[in-house]
Chain A
Amino acid sequence: MIELNDVHKSFGRVEVLKGITASVEKGEVVCIIGPSGSGKSTILRCINGLESYDRGEISVEGLKVDRDAPSIVNIRTQVSMVFQRFNLFPHRTALENVVEGPLYVKKESRAQAFDRGRALLAQVGLAEKADAHPPQLSGGQQQRVAIARALAMQPKAILFDEPTSALDPELVGDVLGVMRKLADDGMTMVVVTHEMGFARDVADRVLFIDGGVIVEQGPARALLNQPQHPRTQDFLRRVLHPL
C-alpha cells in the first residue's frame, strides 16, 4: 500500500536519500534500522509529506504523495504518525488530544469522537488518564496517548519515528507492548527503531539503511540473526554488544 520508487532527497548540498525503492504491503510490519543520520526518519517524513522529496515517487494506495497538493490531507488522514518526542498538544487533555483529528479534520460528531477516544485510551491502558494534561504524564504515558491519537484517525497505516528513543528504559516496554498488540491486530506499520528485540519479534521485514541507501533487507529474523552485508554485520555487532 506504500510504494517508494527511487526516492532522492537532499538537505542543501547533503544528499540524505540516494534512491530508496521499497514497498510496504497491507498488514505488514516493517522496521527500518540503521545508524543515526542514515536517512531513516527522513523516509518516514517523506511518506506523509512532512518533508518534500526531490526525485522519484512515493505513493500511498496509488495516490502520489505531494506535500504541496491538496491530496496530502487525504494521505495524512490515512497514514498517521507517532513521533520520537510525542508532540502531544500540551494545552489539551489526553482525551482532547485523541479526539482533535476526528472532530476537526474528519468532522465526526462529538459523541462518536469522544466515545471512540475513550475506548482508544482504554486500549493503550490509560482510561483513567483521560483528563490529564500531557505535562502531568510520564513519557511512556504520553507516547501511548500519541499512539491513541494516531489510531483515532482510523488510519490504514501508522509511521513510528523512533517511538521509544526519548523514553526512560523502564517505560519502553509499555509502549512496545501497545505496538506489538497493534501489529497482532493486523495494523500496517513502518517503524524506525533501535529496539532490535522488537524488530526481531514483531516485524515481518527489516530494512537496514546506511548512507541514504538500503544496504540490506529481508525477513526480520533472518536479517538480524544472519546479516549478509558487512556493514549490517558491523552495525548490529555495535548495537547488540556496545562494550
Chain B
Amino acid sequence: MKGFWRDAVEFFPILLNGVALTIIVTIGSLLLSTVLGLVWAMMRVSGIKALSMLSASLINVIRGIPIIVLLFYLYFVMPDLGVTLSALQAAILGLGIAYSAYQAENFRAGIEAIDKGQIEAAQSIGMGWWLTMRRVVLPQAVRIVLPPYGNVMIMMLKDSSQASTITVAELALQGKLIASSTFKNTSVFTLVALMYLTMSIPLILLVRHFEKRAGKR
C-alpha cells in the first residue's frame, strides 16, 4: 500500500497529461456525435422518404462497424485517399461518427415520444415543420432524451480509451506506457482505473439529476 502511494505521487502528473487528452477526445466526440445525431434524427423524422431512408441506412452502417475499425480506417486508410488526419483528429472524428448512430436513435425516440396532439396544436396556429420542431417538439424531447444522453456521455468517456489504438496518448495509453517501462502494473492500472472512475462520478450524478427531473412531469 505504501508503495502504491509513492508510485501514485510519481506517476500522477504524467497521467494527468493523459487525462487532458481523454477530456479533449471525449468532449470533441460528444459535440460531434450530438450534432451528427441530431441531423440523422431530423432526417429520420422529416417525413421525406429519401432522407429518412438515407439516415436509416447510415445509422445501420455506422452501428455495424466496430469503433476500433472505424478509427483504423480514418487514421491508416484515409492518408492513402489523400486525407491525412492527426491522431487526435481521427479519434474525435471516429468516436463522434460511431456514437452519432446511438445519439440519433436516442433523439428519434425522444422526438417520437411527443404527443401527436402537440404537433397538431402547433400546426393549427400556422407553424411549419421547422418551427414546430424548434418551439414545440425539441424543447419537450430534451427532457426525455437527457437521461440516456448522460449515459452516452459516460460510455464515451470510457470509450475514448480506444483512441489509444491510434497513438493518442490519452489516459489509458499513458498508463500502458508507464507500466511497460516500470513494470509497476498494479500501481499504474489501479491509478488509471481510479482516475476514470473519478471523472465518471460527476457524470453519474448528472444522469441521476436528469432522471429525477424527467420523472417530475
Q: Which residues of B contact A (CB under 8 A)?
A: 115, 117-118, 120-128, 131, 135-136, 139-140, 143, 217
| Given A100-B135, A105-B131, A80:B117 Cβ within 8 A | no
CB pair B125 A149 closer than 8 Å:
yes
In the assembled complex, how far is the CB of residue A133 from the closest CB belonging to chain B, in whole angstroms?
A: 9
In the assembled complex, how far is the CB of residue A123 from the closest CB belonging to chain B, in whole angstroms?
A: 18
Within 8 A of B (CB), among A45-70: 48-50
CB pair B125 A105 closer than 8 Å:
yes
CB pair A101 B126 closer than 8 Å:
yes
CB pair A85 B124 closer than 8 Å:
no
CB pair B118 A89 closer than 8 Å:
yes
Minimum CB distance partner of A106 in chain B: B126
In the assembly, what is the distance between CA of A177 and CA of B122, in Å?
A: 25
Residues of B within 8 A of A77 (CB): 125-126
How would you classify the secondary structure of chain B's contact residues: helix, strand, loop or mixed? helix
Known: A81-B121, A91-B140. 10 other contacts (CB 8 A): A48-B124, A50-B120, A73-B126, A80-B125, A83-B121, A87-B117, A87-B121, A89-B135, A104-B135, A135-B217
A90 lies within 8 A of chain B by Cβ:
yes
CB pair B117 A85 closer than 8 Å:
yes
Minimum CB distance partner of A45 in chain B: B120
In the assembled complex, how far is the CB of residue A211 from the closest CB belonging to chain B, in whole angstroms?
A: 25
In the assembly, what is the distance between CA of A149 and CA of B115, in Å?
A: 19
Q: Which of B115, B120, B124, B128 contacts A80 (CB 8 A)?
A: B124
In the assembled complex, how far is the CB of residue B56 from the closest CB belonging to chain A, in whole angstroms?
A: 24
A153 lies within 8 A of chain B by Cβ:
yes
Residues of B within 8 A of A100 (CB): 125, 135
A9 lies within 8 A of chain B by Cβ:
no
Q: 1/0 per residue A141-158: CB within 8 Å of B?
A: 000000001100100000
A76 lies within 8 A of chain B by Cβ:
yes
In the assembled complex, how far is the CB of residue A71 from the closest CB belonging to chain B, in whole angstroms?
A: 11
In the assembly, what is the distance between CA of A150 and CA of B125, in Å?
A: 7
Residues of B within 8 A of A83 (CB): 117, 120-121, 124
In the assembly, what is the distance between CA of A105 and CA of B131, in Å?
A: 8
In the assembly, what is the distance between CA of A49 and CA of B123, in Å?
A: 9
